[in-house]
Amino acid sequence: MSSVAIVGAGPGLGAAVARRFGREGFRVGLVARDRERLDALAGALVAEGITAGGCAADVRRPEELAAALGELAEALGTIEVLQYSPVPHRDFMRPVLDTGHRDLVGPIEFSVYGPVAAVQRVLPGMRRLGRGTILFVNGGTAAVPHPERAGTSVAFAAESAYGHLLHERLAAEGIHVAQLVIPGAITPGHARKDPDALAETLWSLHRDRHGFRHYADDLDS
């Protein structure tokens, strides 16, 4: 049985992706910091017939994140799909001239060290399986830097470069790496940016397996 790990699993996109992959028979592993909220989400999924479990970790602590993914793999089986989509902290989004080098520590830990730690932890299992999917989810500043959101702009650019390198390097091994850029806000009821619509898009990225960067909506929306 295959499992999907959702790093940054909350009530919005994380829950929708859990349900979408769960519907396809995936076991679902959830990672976020708040254990009670994780347990509540896992419990709701289990009540719907999805095999699910949560493990608390802060993505800014790479060892903690890697250990959580190890625990989930132990409990749910080898992680075939990794989605990295924690919601960035508000204080990462400062104007560029108010951003000093220390202000970039958090964004870089969050968007570079976290993804690298997660990928390194799950990759050996994907290689053993001979297949896998790694999905990065980012806001629009990954594609167009925003002067009022310097931290995410800089760190998402680095995360995008890392993902692109992985995409090129791992395609021949049957491991597909893709990025979904969501311009503007996730919006319930929106045709393309409702959490369920985005989960459908992420499912299709996993299923169709072509190209690295994909946009959930027009960039100027």
Sites of contact with ligand NAP (CB under 6 A) = 8-14, 32-34, 37, 58-60, 85-88, 137-139, 182, 185-186, 195
**What does the alpha-carbon distance between residue 91 and residue 72 come to, in Å, rounded to a whole number?**
30
Residue 213's identity, in one-letter code, is: R
What is the number of alpha carbons within 13 Å of residue 98 lying toward its C-beta? 8
From the CB of 133, what's the least distance to ligand NAP, in Å? 16
Q: Order of strands, edge to edge, in the sheet holding 132-139?
A: 52-56, 27-32, 3-7, 79-84, 132-139, 175-182, 213-215
Taking the complex as a whole, how short is the minimal distance between the CB of residue 123 and ligand NAP, in angstroms? 20
Taking the least distance from each CB to ligand NAP, the nearer of 13 and 72 is 13
Please provide the size of the chain in residues.
221
- 153 CB-side CA count, 13 A: 12
Nearer to ligand NAP, 127 or 146 (CB): 146
